[in-house]
């Protein structure tokens, strides 16, 4: 657990930093959604994106690996939500695939990083 808990600050975790980068991408992208989506898909995707680094931060601040794993699982679920919601935005014509390419790349990276971190924490428990 030393490698994962070597830092007492979640801001030092690369996975948290990538989560914040995705939030910035999502906000940039969702600004171009139609005005009638301001309280629809735009707010949904923003909340899901914000949930990713928030859950990583809260989980890292917990005192046990088991709790951290739970919050990482929540973050993984939020990554899937963002992926789905961005896909819907593209399908609905709010943005193009090329406009979403950086965000989709971050989604893939986060999915891998969260999965890897969760597996490492679980392996240390056993």
Which letter does DSSP use for residue 32 in this model? T
| Contact by Cβ (8 Å): 121, 69 | yes
pTM for the model stands at 0.92
Alpha carbon distance 73, 76 (integer Å): 5
Interval 109-119 mean pLDDT: 97
93: alpha, beta or left, given left = phi > 0 and alpha = psi -120 to 50? left
| Contact by Cβ (8 Å): 75, 55 | yes
Using DSSP's 3-state secondary structure scheme, residue 13 falls into: coil
The domains found in the chain, sorted by start residue, are: 11-125 (1.20.1440.60)
Alpha carbon distance 104, 109 (integer Å): 9
Tell me, what's the pLDDT at 7?
56
Q: Which residue in this structure is represented by tokens 């965000």?
A: 103
Q: Return the closest-CA partner of residue 8 out of 75, 57, 48.
A: 57
| Contact by Cβ (8 Å): 104, 29 | no
Alpha carbon distance 52, 34 (integer Å): 25
pLDDT digits (tens, 9 = 90+) for 16-62: 999 999 999 999 999 999 999 988 999 999 999 999 999 999 999 99
pLDDT digits (tens, 9 = 90+) for 72-98: 999 999 999 999 999 999 999 999 999
């Amino acid at each position: 657990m030393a490698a994962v808990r070597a830092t007492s600050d979640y801001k030092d975790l690369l996975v948290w930093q990538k989560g914040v980068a995705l939030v910035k991408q999502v906000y940039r992208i969702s600004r171009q959604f139609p005005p009638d989506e301001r309280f629809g898909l735009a707010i949904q995707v923003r909340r899901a994106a914000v949930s990713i680094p928030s859950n990583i931060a809260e989980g890292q601040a917990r005192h046990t690996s088991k709790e951290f794993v739970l919050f990482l699982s929540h973050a993984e679920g939020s990554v899937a939500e963002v992926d789905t919601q961005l896909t819907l935005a593209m399908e609905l014509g709010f943005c193009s695939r090329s406009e979403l390419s950086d965000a989709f790349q971050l989604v893939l990276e986060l999915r891998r990083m969260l999965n890897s971190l969760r597996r490492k924490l679980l392996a240390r428990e056993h």
